[in-house]
Amino acid sequence: MDLPALRGAADAEAAGLDAADAADRLILDEAREVVAATPIGRIAVIGDAHGALAIGALSSAGAPRDGEHLRVHQDALLGERAIVANAERLGLGASVRMLPLAPELVRDARVVLLRLPRSLDQLDEVSGLIADHADPAAVVFAGGRIKHMTPAMNDVLRRRFGRLDISHARQKSRVLIAREPIRPVADGETARADAPHPITWPRRAHDDALDLDVVAHGGAFAGASVDIGTRFLVGRLPELLDGRPAPRRPIDLACGTGVVAVCLARLLPTAPIEAYDQSAAAVASARLTAAANGVGDRVRAERADGLELVPDGASDLVVLNPPFHSGAAITTALAERLFADAGRALAPGGRLVAVWNSHLRYRAALERAVGPTRQVARDPKFTVTVSTRR
């Protein structure tokens, strides 16, 4: 399918990534006949990077009836904004409705167009939601680049759907086509042999070393565990905060499941903690993690592009474990955008505490964006630095 020129999200454009690719086109081609026969109001799109699937679906299905919307979910805020901007630029803004990953997104949907996520947990949560709430005759077209697909994805979908077909490969892309949703057993019913276990999202686990509970949705980085970079970082926070006045507006930037925010709340027992992430799954998880550890009243987690909700020079402390993936692509551009935003939001003398993969050598970028930077700790994998705002 030919798609109009789409503009990528701010982070993707910085990383030089395409707004539409061969996998988007293959999903749309495989689904074209079914989409054309389905009202727009019964179609859902999940994981669309910048609007290719949404705009392609609207092109195939024709004009929506009054009050109909194409239901769309994108976990990343910048991706969501790109979808809306591209639809509006093409005069389709009124036909697209962005929704959270919740039953309303897929309720009674007959067609779901899905970009396969990298995380099997995220695919499990999404496929379970579809199986539970979509039309019993729903068809899911789930596609991606072959280099990012694994046989385990087939297994996840087969747990939730009775039939799975696999398209021919084209331009190094493939589509998994799932039908016959397997719903959980209702009270009084007899279980089918292939009936799935009840959905267990979000998941909760206790970390003994940190003595905290982590609660995570499927799309949250590291799930209900503590990734080793975060663990290395929080182990240095006590020495960095000890003996200093309580900082103004301490912030956990790119907060993920909120582990750093909870640790800050414990170390700063009278301070309100702010946590920001552009991932909807991360923010929902961070709120649940804070509540699970008794600091939900002091941790405010918000979905945002970096520190866009924080005025210039308003904070004395930003703590950051930056991402290095945009979708499946590895890039340093995301971290550098966050470094610059931290430099803007910090007051003179304020500090950015960051952990990063040692091989990425971010020190020069931190010096440019924030100010003088010193190494606090380093091991073969990670480096923790403190940068002081000029």
Query: Read out DSSP for 45-105?
Result: EES-SSSHHHHHHHHHH-SPPTT--EEEE-SBHHHHHHHHHHHHHTT-GGGEEE--SSHHH
Average pLDDT of the residues in 220-224: 96
Report which of 335, 340, 337, 332 is spatially closest to residue 370, judged by C-alpha positions.
340
CA distances, 303 to each of 253, 280, 285, 300 (Å) = 11, 6, 11, 10
Residue 118 has pLDDT above 80, yes or no: yes
Quick one: how far is CA 18 from the chain centroid? 18
Residue 344 to residue 313: CA distance in whole angstroms: 6
pLDDT-based confidence at 65, cuts 50/70/90? confident
Report which of 14, 65, 55, 201 is spatially closest to residue 124, judged by C-alpha positions.
201
Average pLDDT taken over every residue of the chain: 92
**DSSP single-letter state for residue 9:** P
Tell me, what's the pLDDT at 24? 97
Torsion sign across C-alpha atoms 98, 331, 324, 328 = positive
pLDDT-based confidence at 100, cuts 50/70/90? very high
- Every domain of the chain and the residues it spans: 10-181, 203-388
Residue 190 has pLDDT above 80, yes or no: no
Tell me, what's the pLDDT at 243? 87
Residue 11 has pLDDT above 80, yes or no: no
Average pLDDT of the residues in 289-311: 98
Both structure tokens of 354: 């960051």
Report which of 308, 304, 356, 318 is spatially closest to residue 335, judged by C-alpha positions.
356
**To which residue do tokens 């994998």 refer?**
381
Q: What's the CATH number for 203-388?
A: 3.40.50.150
> 10-181 with 203-388: one CATH topology?
yes
Average pLDDT of the residues in 309-337: 83
Do the beta carbons of residue 260 and residue 289 sit within 8 Å? no
Residue 8 has pLDDT above 90, yes or no: no
pLDDT-based confidence at 61, cuts 50/70/90? confident
Percentage of residues in the chain having pLDDT higher than 70: 90
Percentage of residues in the chain having pLDDT higher than 90: 84
Q: Is 313 left (phi over 0), alpha (psi -120 to 50) or beta?
A: left
Q: Which CATH class is domain 10-181?
A: alpha beta
Residue 326 has pLDDT above 80, yes or no: no
Residue 16 has pLDDT above 50, yes or no: no
Average pLDDT of the residues in 173-180: 98
**DSSP single-letter state for residue 309:** T
Tell me, what's the pLDDT at 238? 97
- Which amino acid makes up residue 289? T
Helices assigned H by DSSP within the chain: 10-15, 22-36, 52-61, 77-89, 103-106, 120-133, 151-160, 228-234, 237-241, 259-267, 280-292, 333-345, 363-369
Do the beta carbons of residue 24 and residue 3 sit within 8 Å? yes
Note the pLDDT tens digit of each residue in 232-281.
Answer: 999 999 999 998 999 999 999 999 999 999 999 999 999 999 999 999 99
Paired with 330 in beta bridges are: 325
Q: Which residue has the higher pLDDT, 66 or 260?
A: 260
pTM (2 d.p.): 0.92
Paired with 357 in beta bridges are: 382
**DSSP single-letter state for residue 184:** P
Average the pLDDT over each of 5-9, 53-57, 127-131, 271-275 and give the range with the smallest value: 5-9
pLDDT-based confidence at 224, cuts 50/70/90? very high
Residue 336 has pLDDT above 60, yes or no: yes
